[in-house]
Structure 1
Amino acid sequence: MKQRDSLLFSLPLTAAMLIIVFAVFLYWQLSKFETSYINEAKKTIAREAELAAAVISPMLAKQDVSSVVHFCRTIGHYALRLTVIDSNGTVLADSKDDPLIFDNHKERQEVKSALEGKAASAVRYSSSMNQKMIYHAMPLDCNGKRYVMRSAIPTAEVGRIIDMSRLNMFWALLLGAQIVLFLTYYILQKVRKPLINLHTSVEDIASGNLDRNIDIPEDGIMRELAIDISEMTNQLKRQLDIVTAERNERAVLFDTMNEGVLLLAEDGNLIRANNAAARLLNFDKDKPFQLNRCHIPELVEKAMETLKSGLSFEKEFCLERNKTRSFLFIKGSVLRNNNTRRLLLTITDLSNMRKLESFRTDFVANVSHEIKTPLTCITGAAEALEENISPETQTRLIAMIKKHSERLNHIVRDILSLSQIEKSRRHESDMLRIRLDIILENVVNIERERAKECGFEIKITENLPLTVSGDADLLEQALINLIENALRYSNGKTVSVSVTQENANAVLTVRDDGIGIAEEHRDRLFERFYRVDKSRSRELGGTGLGLAIVKHIALTHNGKVEVITDVGKGAEFRIILAL
């Protein structure tokens, strides 16, 4: 601040100093000129006095005072003034005035010196001439008497020149002062003040406040600079917005990637990671993390080898945590920056793929097994019919073929139904508003005869007229599957069904009073081909797909299915749908 102000005010200060120096120099020159003029005038009147003395001395020798007076009056029209004074100080003759009007001059300094025999000069104000005069007195000795001849010239001309010069110097000083004041005011208002405002704004911008407005002066030399800085700030803000948006986009893409990404230092400390990596390796990315805490010893060893050798690697690792297995395909490569090495790991989760592979294998095995049993029975019965057998045996074998053909048909039907439901996931806007109470009544009417055949009674305990968005045929199929499941496996006597409301949800409930389901089977009830009692299920004609179909129908309606059961206390299946 002090350095800037010193620089800004150096111009008016320099101007003021130059004006003062010029004034001092001019005053010195005037004084010198006045002194030189007086000295030169003294020499001139001394010379002229000697010439006049050569004329007057003979007259005084003859004591011809009248001639002296006449001579003095003769030169009266010249600037030079001659005065002749006797030894008593009495004025005998004067070139300008009557000698009788003069006082005694004996005590005048220059006259006194001349009477003592020494020529002398003096500069003083003359009361008779009303102006300043330069006097030169010289002694004249004639016939033993001493006279003084004094010559004088006025200083009015040089005084007028000096006074005029002083007046001009005064006006010059006044003008210089005004210039200095104007420069100072201009610098204060048009340079320093805008510069301070600009400096404050630039400091705010440098600290990160790009929303700070630049004060632009209406005029002055700082206006263009302020406009340029304002435009530069706006461009910087626009560029920063673009960079920030791109950085945010990259950060969002980075954090939403399915693949995990980790950047590690040479010592294994985490530099950066995305959400997927934190989730897959189970750590908090905002806290310090070391690779040796990932619970995959092989990965730590492989990473250290890669950092040393600089060679990339690709390998599948198995992570066991909390009695679960995750299969991770990890790629590692080294990033070099000057003499620094960093390890970049990309992680792909293969767990779902492995589960799908396992599911596909199990599904093929289950389907093959489910189809193989009835096909074996059908093939055996057909081969037996080719032989000579009794009519009773033929009838029994034909019935067996029919039974197992129906079972094959049920299996194929349920597989196709499940596949169709999985493919036809509908958007809520594509569904119609349907009444659940009507659907429940339709299903009960359909299953009532079958329930009687099985020795069951179907009761509607509550049937609220609730409306949901859905597919009536699919919901009917889900309820039929749950009711047939109860009729087939519960060993009870009553199946209770209801439509109720819980908060903002509609609940379809099918409950039996049978044997219930053990805890170890509950988590797998809705898996394809899963049976609690496999041999009994096959005897009763179950395919193992009924509850899986119910689950997918509920998911199609953005709902869910749950079971509440305990051994010996029956089972309650609930389909929960949003109203």
Structure 2
Amino acid sequence: MIKKRFFVKIFSGYFLAAIILPLLIALFTVSIIRSHYLETLGAGLKAETIILETKTGEFLRKADYKGLRDYIGIIRKDISARITVVDRDGIVIADSDSDYRSMENHIYRPEIAAAFSGLTETVIRYSESTGTEMLYCAMPVKDENGAAAWALRTSYYVSGVNALINSLLSRIGAVTILIVVLSLVAAFFIARRIYLPVKRLAAASREMASGNFGARVVIHEKNELKDLADAFNELGAEIGKLIAELTEKNTQINTIVSSIAEGLIVVDEKGSVILVNSSFKKIAGTDCAGSGFYWECFMPPGFNGVLESALKKKKNCIEQLEINSRVYLCSATYMENSGHAAMIMYDITEFKELERIKKDFVANVSHELKTPLTAIKGFAETLEPEVKTADAKRYLEIIKNNTERLINIVSDLLTLSELEQPDVVFNGEEADIEAVIKDVARIFEAAAKKKGLYVKTSFEPGMGRIKGDTFRLEQALVNIIGNAVKYTDSGGVEISAANAEGGIEIKISDTGCGIPEGGLERVFERFYVVDKSRSRKLGGTGLGLSIAKHIIQLHKGVIKAESEKGKGSVFTIFLPK
């Protein structure tokens, strides 16, 4: 149906052009010929009238009306024009074709009125006397005084002209019909010549749409359609090449996705499953592909929250989830270009088990070491009064210092182990942050003064209290402020607290040695120290900041560090109210 309509549209356009154009040309030609013929006839009539005026005027000025009528009768035989003479009152004096006595008054005839106005005019109008259309030419005939006393009018029957025009029109019509027929035949072949290549292009397009990218169109005529066909063939070849490359890449991607040991799921903005790999199917215990929404096939505790966080907040989200007695690190990523979210599930059960074993080992070792270390320290202090030689005293001091350092490490490890327990409970009391900071600052005033440092505090009025464990918060601040004092040689330490949106923000800044580039990412790790030689000299364990971070996080707060080597550090803590 579409093909036929396309052909009909093309043919119809040529058909209408083949009919309308010749008809318009014929009508225009006839109109021009008729107009030109009447113009020529009028000019001839006017020339005859001017010639007749000389002789007619002689008879009229002599008042020889009989001689005038005889003259008109004779001259009428030699010319084809009708001759009429009218006086000033519109009365017909003489007429070559009718009895002048029976003719009505002509004073209101337009050509007569123009003649009495001194003009010579040619007009075409319907004649009431003859009952047909006439071509008139009238001019004034002047008396002895030069006044227009009479009007001489000549006329032709236009019916003769119409007969000639009709004859001409019939001939033009015959030629027009012949032209129309020939044009229609030509239009059919032209339309067919356009339609067939388009038909081939349409057929090839359908083949290409069905997956046959080898479809080609061959057009031999050198025209725009051949250029279009060549472009279509090039496009088909290029698309075929691209599809082949995409298919190969898609196969590679599917192979890679299928071979990934971690579970992978991709969902759209509505939560519909787009892609899952075989590892995810094993985790879920079902084939979620094509099952609609992800929650219809897999909905363990916390899983929905990770994906929804990525989709709604449009940012990456990482959570640890326990699914079917195994622990997975779930990393959900929001893809801005598509609005989809992809989640990878890393099975970290073995790592968590190793971490647990390590923590248990550290806790057990720490407990086992605490008693003998305390005993060693006690015996060293007991021996101290008994030692007399300088070397023995120096050796005993080394034993005491290292024993103290080991005791500090064991104490910190026990604290860290306690904080990492899943069932750790804090005292949910109302904590006065301003009082806590002031108490901790007093602890380091003596040490700071000894090094020539200042310890300053500042507070925003009306901060209020937060819900937290005062002892643990003091412990966290002691570790942070203690490090600030320990690693600052000049200047001092400033501690400030102010209201923030939803909580209180604490800033601890120092003018110490600072943290080198790359160290900020590891500053809260266990046993990480900025300056190892200085840490050993000052007795640092490398666990203080790790303990502080755990305490802050257990209060659902955030801690971050900013620093510049040689210019000091700033630790910012946010605690929700």
- Report the TM range for the smaller structure's normalisation: 0.3 to 0.5
- Report the TM-score, using the length of structure 1 for normalisation: 0.37
Q: Which has the larger radius of gyration?
A: 1
Q: TM-score, normalised by structure 2?
A: 0.37
